[in-house]
Structure 1
Amino acid sequence: MNHTGLTEYELLRQWNTRLRVVLLPHSILLVVYFIVCVLGNMAVIYIYQIRFHHNTDGRFFMPYLAGMDMLACFVGCATSLLINFNPVLYPSNVLCKVSYALCYFFSTSSALMLSVIAAQRFLKICRPFKFQMSGRRKGFGIVIIIVVSSGMSVPAFVTFGISSIRNTSMNITGQYCASINVNGSNMTSLVYNCTVSAICVINMCFLCTLYTRIGNKLREMRQRRLQRIATREKWSDADVFTSETEKNSVNTLDKQRRHTSKNVTEMGNQVTLMYFIITFAFSVFFIPTFVTILWDIIDVNPWLTKGDAYVVGFRFSYTVFIINYLINPLVYSLFDSDFRGELQKLIPRFCRNV
């Protein structure tokens, strides 16, 4: 291609525009992520915080998790769109550092929130007569999440920033937002991201352990309930009552107690199942992102110098973690009938006002 007569900045704009077009499908996908996430999580906050005035113990964290997810999605999509639209003409070193620090803060907060939720479900189901999370303790847990997430995101101000990238065919140098070398070495960035990845793996193991024990406990409780029902039916058939009226009265009361107990148990089990699915999705969608981040640090050739298919695949893998933040409302609508009923009322009202 003949670049005679064009200034270096004009050549950079040509290169930037070509990459922006290549990344356009991914940018459109990010906009879809953002719209779905905001609408879904706003519905979760509105329904659980306003419509359900007295949330049950299991639903306490849902509005807070939705708020964290919505902020994490906003920051993640905004940061990624800024990179996609300015792949080799990134405007500011400070903006790059702040964007990635906020991404790490909200992503860590969301992940730690799942750990607190898992601990609360474990105590509620496996240790019902021991230490429990009161309202004050839950609030304290949220404060701890914010403090720990802040500490884990601070190093991003050092390990991320503007890096130079050379296009030898056009004989120009651009700048992009990514992990940077500290004191001439990538070791600091590598250690930081490996540490974050290790903490995430430990968190996943912690979550898997708790939900495995919760699942075993729920299975034991179900077996005991079935045994009690079988025992009651056996005694009922023995005709130990003095009259048919007394027998029918006791059977009616017994059925009512069993129905109430079954409803409470099933509600608790559904809440636990919802949180388990959300945790499983967190594990599935975060792994590709961290693998991509580590590969980007190790690879000596920046992703922007690769082929178009690699560039798009790299960006998709880098941002696939955002899907975590938009699937929670779908999980709630599938397993929480109360939420589903309120959502069915909310959608027509929202469509009429648009």
Structure 2
Amino acid sequence: MESMNESNLTALAAFNHNEALTKIPTFLFLVLLTPFGIIGNAGVIYVYGCRLKKTNLQHFITLLAVFDIVCCLVAFPLKMVELWLPVMYPSGNLCKVQNSIICFTCVASALTLLIISVDRYKKVCRPTQSQMTLCHAKILFSVITVISLIYSVTAAFIYDRRSIPLDSDGYLVGYTCVMDFNSVVTQGYFLALFVVLVIVLGTMLVLYCLVWKEAKKHFMQSDLRYRHSENQEDGEDHTSPHKRNLHRTNRTVVLISLLFAISFVPSLLVSVLFAQFTHVQFSMTTRTIRELIYGTWALNSSMNPLVYGFCNENFRTEFQNLRIPFGCYGRYPAPKKNDIKSIAQV
């Protein structure tokens, strides 16, 4: 009996090794993204949370960074365990925690980006109407948290460590972190998640189209007045600072939204598609590509800080001068008022 157990363990390890080969690119992908996500989001939390004046946009960007850094610190390592031990997964609780955090981050990011798009629309297209206040932002933060928790708790029910037969005789059994594809709860969960993403992305697309159209119309004349008031010559930058700040802010939130779509939509679509072919044996190349597409969700949590840095030179400067803080400003002098005002335009 002991020799049989040793033989099964050896066979299981060999099977796990062969299966893990298809997941190596995704594993290395996460290894590469993890330090970017942790360092970058920590910098975003510090700069936007402590160095800038508190506006709605700063609150929501900080909120996104908090969600993202939790995902990088917890979900990324657990996902790497799953990729390294695809048929020897050690714990059902780890499986539930991993997928619950991924689900929480997905829903929370989607809802936060939706609120940001509404805030930008009201500021640009409806400036004379009542605007979102910091009190409203805090209430919306609570709403986002509750809805995201509901989705993440549902994910904890449908994901678990499950046994799978690895040979035709059923003697060799592996354990993997997977959802119950045949469950009605699973089908409802993915349908609800898909509906949320479609509504959020569709609404953001419409709102940002209106924002860009309205911004272009409103500031053409202001640029002309600015050029004449400054007596600028041909060849000089005729764009007013107000318009430059507006474009910079809009570009930031649009790129963050685009990154979210690139991160989660392909992953969700592939999850739903391959769930219909659970009994089909795909080639090694197909499975490798599938795992890479699955892994695109990690882009949202790790690459947002690069968007902030790309769109805002002042944020890059603050980030490069980052020190270990003692409190919010630590031993280092607070930024000047003009500097804070310019950075806050992102």
| Structure 1 length-normalised TM | 0.80
User: Which of 196, 200, 217 pairs up with 1:199?
Assistant: 196
User: Which of 292, 296, 304 pairs up with 1:316?
Assistant: 292
State how far apart, in whole Å, the 2-side matches of 1:31 and 1:173 are. Answer: 29
Q: Tell me, which stretches of 5 or more residues in structure 2 are unaligned?
A: 324-346
2:303 maps to: 327
User: Which of 213, 226, 247 pairs up with 2:210?
Assistant: 213
Shift of 1:293: 1.3
Is 2:104–2:152's contact at 8 Å kept on the other side of the alignment? yes
State how far apart, in whole Å, the 2-side matches of 1:32 and 1:344 are. Answer: 20
1:61 maps to: 60
Is 1:12–1:174's contact at 8 Å kept on the other side of the alignment? yes
Is 1:333–1:339's contact at 8 Å kept on the other side of the alignment? yes
Shift of 1:6: 4.6
Alpha carbons of 1:46 and 1:127: their partners in 2 closer, same or farther (altered >3 Å)? same
Shift of 1:55: 4.3
Is 2:263–2:299's contact at 8 Å kept on the other side of the alignment? yes
Question: What pairs up with 1:18-29 in 2 under 5 angstroms?
Answer: 18-29=18-29
User: Which of 282, 286, 307 pairs up with 2:283?
Assistant: 307
Shift of 1:337: 2.0
Per-residue CA deviation, residues 260-308 of structure 1 (Å, 9 max, x unaligned), is x932332132112100111012112211100121123211227xx5433
State how far apart, in whole Å, the 2-side matches of 1:167 and 1:11 are. Answer: 10
Q: Tell me, which stretches of 5 or more residues in structure 1 are unaligned?
A: 234-250, 348-354
| Structure 2 length-normalised TM | 0.82
- Of 93-102 and 288-297, more deviation after overlay is shown by 93-102
Query: Helix, strand or coil for the counterpart of 2:295?
Result: helix
When the two structures are aligned, how many residues end up with a matched partner?
Answer: 316
Query: Helix, strand or coil for the counterpart of 1:147?
Result: helix
Q: Percent identity?
A: 23
Alpha carbons of 1:197 and 1:75: their partners in 2 closer, same or farther (altered >3 Å)? farther
State how far apart, in whole Å, the 1-side matches of 2:243 and 2:55 are. Answer: 13
Is 1:164–1:174's contact at 8 Å kept on the other side of the alignment? yes
Question: What pairs up with 1:287-302 in 2 under 5 angstroms?
Answer: 287-301=265-279
2:175 maps to: 175
Query: Helix, strand or coil for the counterpart of 2:322?
Result: helix
Per-residue CA deviation, residues 141-170 of structure 1 (Å, 9 max, x unaligned), is 111110111112222122222333222268
2:83 maps to: 84
Opposite residue 215 of structure 2, the aligned amino acid is L
RMSD of equivalent CA atoms: 2.7
State how far apart, in whole Å, the 1-side matches of 2:131 and 2:202 are. Answer: 22
Is 1:125–1:214's contact at 8 Å kept on the other side of the alignment? yes
1:262 maps to: 240
Shift of 1:57: 4.8
Is 1:80–1:319's contact at 8 Å kept on the other side of the alignment? no
Please say which structure displays the higher CA radius of gyration. 1
Are residue 153 (structure 1) and residue 152 (structure 2) matched? yes
- Of 200-209 and 90-99, more deviation after overlay is shown by 90-99
Query: Helix, strand or coil for the counterpart of 2:296?
Result: helix
Opposite residue 262 of structure 2, the aligned amino acid is V
Opposite residue 14 of structure 2, the aligned amino acid is Q
Are residue 276 (structure 1) and residue 254 (structure 2) matched? yes
State how far apart, in whole Å, the 2-side matches of 1:187 and 1:55 are. Answer: 44
Are residue 188 (structure 1) and residue 185 (structure 2) matched? yes
Is 1:162–1:180's contact at 8 Å kept on the other side of the alignment? no
Question: What pairs up with 1:138-149 in 2 under 5 angstroms?
Answer: 138-149=137-148
Is 2:223–2:240's contact at 8 Å kept on the other side of the alignment? no
Is 1:285–1:320's contact at 8 Å kept on the other side of the alignment? yes
Is 2:72–2:301's contact at 8 Å kept on the other side of the alignment? yes
State how far apart, in whole Å, the 2-side matches of 1:150 and 1:288 are. Answer: 23
2:46 maps to: 46
Opposite residue 191 of structure 1, the aligned amino acid is G
Per-residue CA deviation, residues 77-115 of structure 1 (Å, 9 max, x unaligned), is 123212112211112223222321221112211111111
Alpha carbons of 1:17 and 1:311: their partners in 2 closer, same or farther (altered >3 Å)? same
1:336 maps to: 312
Opposite residue 103 of structure 1, the aligned amino acid is I
Alpha carbons of 1:140 and 1:113: their partners in 2 closer, same or farther (altered >3 Å)? same
